[in-house]
Structure 1
Amino acid sequence: MEMISLEYPAIELPEQLRNRSLSIAIGHFDGVHRGHRNVIEQVVATAKRTGGLSAVMTFNPHPKEVLGRGDQYYNCLTPLAVKQSLFAELGVDLVLVVKFDHDFAAIMPEQFVDEVLRRLGAAQIVVGFDFNFGYKGQGNAATMKALCEPDIQVEIVEPLYDNGLKVSSTYIRQALSDGDIELATKLLGRPYELAGTVVHGDGRGSSIGFPTANVDVSLPYVMPRLGVFGISAVVLGKSYYGVLNHGMKPTFNKEDIRPVLEAHLFDFHQAIYDEPIRLQFHSFIRPEQRFSGVDELIRQIHADAQQAKRQFGVE
């Protein structure tokens, strides 16, 4: 899979890709959830059927962040590098990353079709039913169809529902905020994941018999609610089950600090400072709480670990 950065008005593919038939899925695709995959899989299937290339066009940064209508969109379910990896798993040939700035936000729907899609040589476009584009979102899926056809075919994918609610990035963000990990997993079609690096902590976990990997997350992920979770972690090329505390460590910290991620991995005893680690969230065990002392904390951590082991079937 190849990633190509584009910036309006200089919309142009590398020479070796010109004159190739492109089937393009368009959207921000934060989370690459089950609904997004319906759109992307249709593009991949169309490209295979027609002998062309499948492409995903996404925008960076998030349009709402640029337009000042959603500071929360700085944090993502899937930062750009993670989205690219998921697109590759779905069989996409090209990822077209369009820089979203105020100049791009000001173009009219007709310009988007003529000066972006036609210039790229698009043959088929696939969008979700709620897709909007152009200045102030004036264009929608029906507009796209009217402006593109007959020379560019447009397919509009209907929404995917779960228990009467549309599968969406907003719904998943809310599930993570609520600690509803099972729902987030169901909507994503996979466990929610964070990637980071193991860093030095205060060493308190080892001193009480529960050594932890302190994880620094540099990419702008959406973080789940504060509390304790059943997780799996991929480190040094292997996967391990464990428990993770996302919080302020209130038993020891009396002042407000930045929330930290501390993962205790079962039957794991290696030093992994500065190693990359991926955390997958499987269950919410309990909210974070302050304990009266170290002994009460140790008993609760043991109970948390036993609960997670039962859930994973690894007792």
Structure 2
Amino acid sequence: MEIISVQYPIGESALARDASPKALAIGHFDGVHRGHQNVISHAMTCARAAGLQGAVMTFHPHPKEVLGRSPHYNASLTPLEDKLERFRRLGVDVVYIVQFDLDFAKVTPAEFVDDVLRPLRVRRAVVGFDFTFGARGAGKPETLWALGEPDIGVEIVEPFMQDGDKVSSTRIREALMNGRPEEAAELLGELYAVRGVVVQGEGRGRTIGFPTANIRQEDGFFVPRQGVYAIMAETEGRRYPGVLNIGVKPTFHDSLPEPVMEAHLFDFDGDLYGKTVTVQFVAFLRTEKKFGGVDELIAQIHADADQARTLLTAYNKK
């Protein structure tokens, strides 16, 4: 898969790297959820049928982040690296990463078609039913269809429905904010995951019989609701079941400047310091709370671990 970074106006270097005619799926695709997968797969099918290259155009950073329209878009369901990996799994040949800035935000729908799509030799554009483009979102799928004539055909993909409602990044974020990772997984088509590096913590977990990995998540990931979760964790090519807490450790602290993420991996014996861990959220167990003492906390951790083992055993048998 070739990855090409593009800044408006498109430079000759970007055009020279790939002059092949192509079918192009266009969108931000945060999460690359089942609805996005439907759009991209449709574009790849169109490409194969017409003998074109199968391409995706995404925008970085998210337009809502640049334009300040949402407090949640300073973090992504899939930061760019993860998004690209999902595109690769969908069989995409070429990815265009368009730098979204305030200048690009002023581009009109007509300029987008004439100065971006046509120079890139797009012959078929595939978009979702709610796609918008151009300054102030003035362009709609029907606008793209009209502006594309006669040389750019436009395919408009209908919404992908799940449980009577359309699959969307917003719906996934709401599920994660409300402690429903199972719902998020259904919408994504896979478990929601964040990634981070294990750093030195307070070391208290080991003294009470539950050593934990203090995970400093990489920038850019949307973090689910605070609380305790059953998880699967992957590091150095191996996966481990476990239990994880996102919170401020109220039993030991009156306040922390920000929540911390601590994972206890079942049946793991080793040193994780400095290693990268990917945490997949399987189920929400409970909210974080302050306990009356260490013994009460230990009893609750045992209960959490037992519940997590039961849930994860069932999950891994699916």
Same fold by TM (over 0.5)?
Answer: yes
**TM-score, length of structure 1 as denominator length:** 0.97
The answer to whether the 8 A contact 2:22-2:52 is kept is yes
The amino acid across from 1:271 in the alignment is: D
Change in Cα spacing, 1:11 to 1:167, as seen in structure 2 (3 Å) is farther
Which one is further off, 64-73 or 115-124? 64-73
Rounded to whole Å, the distance in 2 between the matches of 1:312 and 1:61 is: 35
The amino acid across from 2:197 in the alignment is: T
- Unmatched segments (≥5 aa) in structure 1: none
For residue 243 of structure 2, what is the aligned residue in structure 1? 243
What percentage of residue pairs aligned between the two structures are identical? 53
Per-residue CA shift, 1:37-84, capped at 9, x if unaligned?
000011111222222211110111111111121232111100111100
**TM-score, length of structure 2 as denominator length:** 0.96
User: How far apart are residue 309 of structure 1 and its match?
Assistant: 0.7
User: How far apart are residue 150 of structure 1 and its match?
Assistant: 2.4
The amino acid across from 1:17 in the alignment is: D
For residue 298 of structure 2, what is the aligned residue in structure 1? 298
The answer to whether the 8 A contact 1:251-1:292 is kept is yes
For residue 214 of structure 2, what is the aligned residue in structure 1? 214
Which one is further off, 216-225 or 264-273? 216-225
Question: RMSD in angstroms over aligned alpha carbons?
Answer: 1.3
Rounded to whole Å, the distance in 2 between the matches of 1:55 and 1:11 is: 18
For residue 198 of structure 1, what is the aligned residue in structure 2? 198
For residue 33 of structure 1, what is the aligned residue in structure 2? 33
Rounded to whole Å, the distance in 2 between the matches of 1:90 and 1:21 is: 19
Rounded to whole Å, the distance in 2 between the matches of 1:104 and 1:163 is: 37
Rounded to whole Å, the distance in 2 between the matches of 1:232 and 1:11 is: 44
Give the length in aligned residue pairs: 314
The answer to whether the 8 A contact 1:197-1:277 is kept is yes
Change in Cα spacing, 1:72 to 1:312, as seen in structure 2 (3 Å) is closer
Rounded to whole Å, the distance in 1 between the matches of 2:17 and 2:242 is: 47
The amino acid across from 2:270 in the alignment is: Q
Rounded to whole Å, the distance in 1 between the matches of 2:112 and 2:177 is: 35
The amino acid across from 2:117 in the alignment is: L
- Unmatched segments (≥5 aa) in structure 2: none
For residue 18 of structure 2, what is the aligned residue in structure 1? 17
User: How far apart are residue 257 of structure 1 and its match?
Assistant: 2.6
The answer to whether the 8 A contact 1:179-1:224 is kept is yes
The answer to whether the 8 A contact 2:55-2:92 is kept is yes
The answer to whether the 8 A contact 1:58-1:98 is kept is yes
Rounded to whole Å, the distance in 2 between the matches of 1:54 and 1:278 is: 29
1:50 aligns with 2:46: no
Q: For 1:1-315, what aligned pairs fall within 5 Å after superposition?
A: 1-12=1-12, 13-18=14-19, 20-313=20-313
